[in-house]
Amino acid sequence: MKDEYDVVVVGAGPAGAYAAATAASECDVLLIEKRQEIGNPVRCAEGVSKEGLARFLPPQKRWIANNIASARIFSPDGTVLEVSEELAGPEVGYVLERKIFDRDLAKRAAQAGADVAVRTRATGVIRENGFICGVKVRHLGESLEMRAKVVIAADGVESQLARWAGINTTLKPIDLESCAQYLMTNVDLLDDCCDFYLGSEAPGGYAWAFPKGHQIGNIGLGALASKLQSKHPIDYLNAFAERHFPDGQPVELNIGGVPVSNAARKTVADGLMLVGDAARHTDPITGGGIINALEGGRLAGEVAKQAVRVQDPSLKVLKQYEAAWRASFGKKLERNYKIKDIFVNLSDAELNKLIRSLEGLRLEDMSVAGIIKRLISRNPRLLAGVRHLF
């Protein structure tokens, strides 16, 4: 580890590792991670679309736990909506092994030439003449300064870097899903199907059961933080597991927060770019963030190279990154935030009505937009608030 780099990336999740790998093809890059193990503990249900992932990586057996061909959505009264994407071939998604996936991404960064450091925590930014030009770090009990032309904040949901740099990314409880999940064994799940449960078992969110094969699965839920009072997500999870998977036994407990906010209003400053969960780039409806983290990482990595090439890490150059992610997935995030706002306040009775309205149909468009469009066409009054978005 040196004390000066072209690019310093803070956080070795998917966003940071992908940004580092991209930038390292031309620049001197340092990727730092505060944990002692990249990828552990897991804070994810590990579901990802096959098509989305293929844009970034060739699939590797070692980080694919399972292939997914369909999904089932359960309403509070148990009505089931089945969705399968027959047109797209038999496998539409994966359940990943994030512990292995995240390490593989870090390995890609290292292979591209980046230095990688674990147990290395950013504790502040170095600012000169209004520019962010490095980070202060603690590394194995020592205080160090790492100077950089460009700093990429990929420090996840708990990002502090942006706030130290003066960009307020604090989440409000109405914009955070508070989650708890067991990796559970002894669960009977369809091996190629992801299940979603709507309703007050997970207020303002949903519960999920994603199979990982061999009677193991991620059984978890997210509740909108503003709807929590005396009970916590772990209490809702215990009740959910007891009801739906009475024989299940946990082998791991994972907890975490998912931003379901609008994207950060500002994702660039002089010398700084925010990516992934730090930029609040998760999808507000599904809570999925892996693909946007990879996409943001790639775009920021490309723009970092450009800034180093033209020796100008100012906002003027870095704002290309903001324009690029907005063009890529910005519109979808905005639309889905508005939809989330309506859906989190539907009652169990209303959710039953919605799912029942599609009962018996076999939906072939597995996208959230596809499903919502069908719901709107059958429930125009109930969903009047989101009709104009399609």
Partner 1 sequence: MIQVNIEKCGHCGACVSVCPTNSITLIESCLEIADTCTTCETCVTICPVGALVVS
In whole angstroms, give the CA distance from residue 342 to residue 199. 14
Residue 261 interacting with ligand FAD (CB under 6 A): no
Among 35, 139, 356, 373, binds partner 1 (CB under 8 A): 35
Report the site for ligand FAD in 239-258 (rule: CB under 6 A): 256, 258
Residue 134 interacting with ligand FAD (CB under 6 A): no
Q: Which does 16 bind (CB under 5 to 8 A by kind): partner 1, ligand FAD, none?
A: ligand FAD
Residue 195 interacting with ligand FAD (CB under 6 A): no
Least distance to partner 1, CB of residue 280, Å? 9
What track of x and - describes contact with partner 1 for positions 117 through 136 (by CB under 8 A)? ----x---------------
Residue 301 interacting with ligand FAD (CB under 6 A): no
Least distance to partner 1, CB of residue 251, Å? 15
Report the site for ligand FAD in 37-66 (rule: CB under 6 A): 43-48
Measured from the CB atom, the residue of 51 and 312 that comes closer to ligand FAD is: 51
Least distance to partner 1, CB of residue 135, Å? 14
Instruction: Classify residue 5 as left (phi > 0), alpha (psi -120 to 50) or beta.
Output: beta
The residues, ordered by sequence, that sit 6+ positions from 93 with a Cβ below 8 Å of its Cβ are 47, 48, 49, 50, 67, 68, 194
* Half-sphere CA count of 131, side-chain side, radius 13 A: 16
Q: Which does 33 bind (CB under 5 to 8 A by kind): ligand FAD, partner 1, none?
A: ligand FAD
Pull the structure tokens for residue 85: 């994407």
Interface size with ligand FAD, residues (CB under 6 A): 39
Measured from the CB atom, the residue of 21 and 180 that comes closer to partner 1 is: 180
Residue 233 interacting with ligand FAD (CB under 6 A): no
With b for 16 or more beta-carbon neighbours within 10 A and e for fewer, the 156-167 pattern comes to: bbebbbbebbeb
In whole angstroms, give the CA distance from residue 158 to residue 113. 27
Q: Which span (283-291, 300-308, 309-317, 366-374) binds ligand FAD, by CB under 6 A? A: 283-291
Pairing relation of β-strands 80-84 and 362-363?
parallel
Least distance to partner 1, CB of residue 340, Å? 17
Sign of CA dihedral 123, 164, 102, 148: negative
Measured from the CB atom, the residue of 168 and 311 that comes closer to partner 1 is: 168
Taking the C-alpha atoms of 359, 365, 366 and 372 in order, what is their torsion angle to the nearest 10 degrees?
A: -60
Q: Are 212 and 218 in contact (CB under 8 A)?
A: yes
Measured from the CB atom, the residue of 19 and 157 that comes closer to partner 1 is: 157
Pull the structure tokens for residue 321: 């990154």
How remote is the C-alpha of 110 from its chain's centroid? Answer: 23
| Angle (deg, nearest 10), helices 368-378 and 348-357 | 90
In whole angstroms, give the CA distance from residue 39 to residue 13. 7
In whole angstroms, give the CA distance from residue 205 to residue 227. 10
Query: Does an H or E element contain 293, and which?
Result: helix 290-309
Least distance to partner 1, CB of residue 125, Å? 13
Residue matched to tokens 């340092």: 30
Q: Which does 305 bind (CB under 5 to 8 A by kind): ligand FAD, partner 1, none?
A: none
Q: Which does 172 bind (CB under 5 to 8 A by kind): ligand FAD, partner 1, none?
A: partner 1
Alpha carbon separation from 17 to 109, 153, 164, 215 (Å, rounded): 6, 11, 22, 31
Pull the structure tokens for residue 131: 């520019």
Q: Which does 14 bind (CB under 5 to 8 A by kind): ligand FAD, partner 1, none?
A: ligand FAD
Which residue is closest to ligand FAD by CB?
A: 289
Report the site for ligand FAD in 302-341 (rule: CB under 6 A): none
Residues lying near ligand FAD in the complex (CB under 6 A) are found at 10-16, 32-35, 43-48, 121-122, 154-158, 160, 179, 181, 220, 256, 258, 276-278, 282, 287-290, 293
Residues lying near partner 1 in the complex (CB under 8 A) are found at 34-36, 41, 43, 121, 156-160, 163-164, 169-173, 176, 178-180, 225, 228-229, 232-235, 253-257, 259
